[in-house]
Amino acid sequence: MPKEVLVAGDSYARLDPDAGHWANKWCKDKEYQITNFGLGGANHVSVVNEIFTKDWQRYDLIIYCMTSWLRAGVSNNSKSSAFLERVNNFLDDSEKSTFEKLLSKNILDNGFKGYANLSGFSNNHQNPDTFWTKETTNLYKNISIPFLARSNLFAVETLILKCKIANIPLVLATTPNDPTTIDNFKMFDTNIFNITHSLPYSDPSINHLSEDLHEEIKDKFNSEYGDII
C-alpha cells in the first residue's frame, strides 16, 4: 500500500490545475498518494476543525500550510435576533453533548458568510470597491486582537498535540517569507518547513505560486524532510 499524505491549510494548500503544488510533486516522486484540502482565505480555527471532521488519522503524514494569525470567520446575519438565536442554539446543544462532539461538526454553519482578515475578505467575498464590508469592519473594531491570535494559535497547538497522540508525523509549512512563524513555534517539538521564496506581484495560480517556484520548494522540502515517512 502506498503512503498517504494530507496537505491542508488555506489557499496555499490548493492544487492548481496548471502550476500544481510542491507537495504533490514531492509525493509523485515518492509514489505516495496525496489529498489536498485548501480553504481559500480561511483561518486556523476553521481549517483545523475541518481536518478533524475528516478521516484524518488514516494519513501517514500531514503537511499543514500555515496562514495569518489574524483571520476570522464572519456571519452574514447582522440582525440581533439571528445572532441571539445562534448563541442560544449553541448553549442548548452544549447541555446535551460534549464540546468535543459538538465542535466536531462542520464549522461552516448557516450563519457563515466568509473569512475576514485585516486586508479584507478572500477573493470570493471581497467588496469590489473597498475590500471591506460592514461585517469585517465591525469585527475588527470590536474583537480583541490578542484573543483572535491566541485562538488561531491554540488551533494549531491542538493539531500538533493530536498528531503526536495519533503518532502521525506533522510538518508545519510557513507562509512564504512570514517572519513570525518560526519564532512562534520554536518552543514546540514539531517539524517546521520554512518557505523563504519570494512571491510574485500577481498570483500565477490559485495557490499563489508558479510551477517553477513549486519545483524549487519541492526540492528544498525533499532535502529537509525527504525521509520523514
3-state secondary structure 111-144: CEEEEEECCEECHHHCCCCCCCCHHHHHHHHHCC
Where is pLDDT greater, at 68 or 185?
68
Rounded Cα gap, residues 37 and 19, in angstroms: 16
Task: Give the per-residue pLDDT at 77.
Answer: 56
Fold of 4-70+147-225: Rossmann fold (3.40.50)
Model confidence over 131-184: pLDDT tens digits? 456 666 777 788 888 999 899 999 999 999 999 999 999 999 998 877 666 777
- Strand 33-38 vs strand 61-65: parallel, antiparallel, or unpaired? unpaired
Q: What pTM was computed for the model? A: 0.85
What cell numbers appear for 176 in the block? 512564504
Model confidence over 93-111: pLDDT tens digits? 777 877 666 666 555 544 4
Average pLDDT, the chain: 82
Domain assignments of the chain as residue spans, ordered by start: 4-70+147-225, 77-110
Percent of the chain with pLDDT over 90: 47
Task: Give the per-residue pLDDT at 121.
Answer: 40
Rounded Cα gap, residues 23 and 214, in angstroms: 8
